[in-house]
Amino acid sequence: MRLVDWHDRWRLAMRTAQNCGVGRSPIARLRHFLIVAGTKVMTREIIRTRCERGAAIAAHLGFLTASSEAIAFGDEQWCGLGHPVGLSGVEIPMLRRVLFIAETLEVCVTEEGIDAAMRMGRARRGRWFELRPADIVVGWSRDQELWRVWADGQRLEATVLSLEPSSSPLVATRARLHRIAEGCAAVIDAKSPATSRHSTNVARYAAAIASARGATPAYSRQVMRAGLLHDLGKLGTSQRIVDKPGALRDTVCNTMQDHPMRRLRSNTPHHGRGYG
């Protein structure tokens, strides 16, 4: 949805066909493509659901209204042909306009390279993107230092953190950490329709069991937090595996079974005990 200009229906259809039913038989892939192509509001509804969930999670975590709005209007285009609502021009919140071009730029640079991303910026200027942000992005084409920072994960993270504008950062209290865990659980469970509220239910059952066996309230809260985050590694598992119907092959099954370890390997080693 970022790499292809939606206004080029032929290219959009070809890209959609390439990504429908991957790994299945040609007939199954064709059937899948025809269903997608014949459902006019499918893309809009998928984007609307993603935007609504994301905005709700941001609000739950205590971020500013502007942050939630930037998520709620996820794919609105300057020309008014975007999703989920179809806003145009200055109707689109400023933060959303900036994020939209940033998201699209990141995908294009990662998938197709800097030169292709610059061509995208020029081609979609005034249609997808507001003129001024698009001109700024295109002006980066020869900024070698910027692209070196972009390619260096550690330098990029340090640079982003140094640009934090807030004079009153959010304090990581226990209550806020719990809300963050709840927000992560909502993101995890949104990965598949079959897992709606799964992490939240696991957390509640686990905390209730711990309490019934005599655990202290503090320990029960830690168990609940662990339950909320127990499937965090699933975020690193391909959607094609998560939603695959029928039995899984051994290699795919191993990937699914390995998702708890994926979460552990992604964390910085720490000392001490518990989840607190």
In a domain, 5, yes or no: no
The C-alpha angle 177, 182, 186, rounded to 5 degrees, equals 145
Q: Measured between alpha carbons, how far is 122 from 129 in angstroms, rounded to an integer? A: 10
DSSP code, position 272: S
Based on the fold, state whether residues 135 and 220 are members of the same structural domain.
Answer: no
Domains in the chain: how many in total? 2
Q: How far is CA 64 from CA 70, 71, 181, 183, in A?
A: 10, 11, 18, 15
- In this structure, which amino acid lies at residue 27? I
In this prediction, residues 189-214 reach a mean pLDDT of 88
Based on the fold, state whether residues 106 and 208 are members of the same structural domain.
Answer: no
In a domain, 106, yes or no: yes
Residue partners of 274: CB distance under 8 A and separation at least 6: 222
Based on the fold, state whether residues 53 and 150 are members of the same structural domain.
Answer: yes
Instruction: Give the model's pLDDT for residue 267.
Output: 47
CATH number of the domain bearing residue 82: 1.10.3210.10
Among residues 162, 191, 220, the one where a domain terminates is 162
Residue 200 scores a pLDDT above 50: yes
Residue 273 scores a pLDDT above 50: no
Based on the fold, state whether residues 241 and 210 are members of the same structural domain.
Answer: yes
Based on the fold, state whether residues 127 and 210 are members of the same structural domain.
Answer: no
What is the pLDDT confidence band of residue 24, given thresholds at 50, 70 and 90? confident
Among residues 107, 133, 162, the one where a domain terminates is 162
In a domain, 273, yes or no: no
In a domain, 98, yes or no: yes
Higher pLDDT, 49 or 247: 49
Based on the fold, state whether residues 143 and 203 are members of the same structural domain.
Answer: no
Q: Are 87 and 64 in contact (CB under 8 A)?
A: no
Instruction: Give the model's pLDDT for residue 249.
Output: 61
Q: Measured between alpha carbons, how far is 136 from 142 in angstroms, rounded to an integer? A: 12
In a domain, 272, yes or no: no
125-169 confidence digits (pLDDT tens): 999 999 999 999 999 998 999 999 888 988 988 988 888 877 677
Based on the fold, state whether residues 133 and 93 are members of the same structural domain.
Answer: yes
Based on the fold, state whether residues 72 and 158 are members of the same structural domain.
Answer: yes
What is the pLDDT confidence band of residue 274, given thresholds at 50, 70 and 90? very low
Instruction: Give the model's pLDDT for residue 248.
Output: 56
110-125 confidence digits (pLDDT tens): 999 999 999 999 999 9
Residue 231, domain extent: 174-266
Based on the fold, state whether residues 71 and 133 are members of the same structural domain.
Answer: yes
Residues above pLDDT 70, as percent of the chain: 83
Based on the fold, state whether residues 133 and 185 are members of the same structural domain.
Answer: no
Which pairs from 80-85 meet CB under 8 Å and 24+ separation?
Answer: 81/6, 81/7, 82/128, 83/43, 83/44, 83/47, 83/48, 84/44, 84/47, 84/48, 84/51, 84/52
41-74 confidence digits (pLDDT tens): 777 787 888 888 889 888 888 888 999 999 999 8
In this prediction, residues 219-227 reach a mean pLDDT of 93
Q: Are 75 and 84 in contact (CB under 8 A)?
A: yes
In a domain, 75, yes or no: yes
Which residue, chain included where needed, has tokens 């959609």? 16
In a domain, 23, yes or no: no
70 by DSSP, 3-state: which? helix
Q: How far is CA 137 from CA 143, 144, 159, 170, 245, in A?
A: 10, 13, 18, 30, 42
Buried b / exposed e along 61-99 (16+ C-beta atoms within 10 A): bebeeebbbbbbbbbbbbeeebbbbebeeeebbeebbeb
In a domain, 60, yes or no: yes
Based on the fold, state whether residues 131 and 154 are members of the same structural domain.
Answer: yes
In this prediction, residues 87-105 reach a mean pLDDT of 94
DSSP code, position 48: H
- In this structure, which amino acid lies at residue 79? C
Q: How many CA atoms lie within 13 A of 35 on its CB side?
A: 8
Which residue, chain included where needed, has tokens 């905005």? 55
Q: Using only the alpha carbons of the chain, give its radius of gyration.
A: 22
Among residues 129, 162, 195, the one where a domain terminates is 162
**pTM higher than 0.75:** no
Q: Is the peptide bond before 84 cis (omega within 30 degrees of 0)?
A: yes
Based on the fold, state whether residues 85 and 65 are members of the same structural domain.
Answer: yes
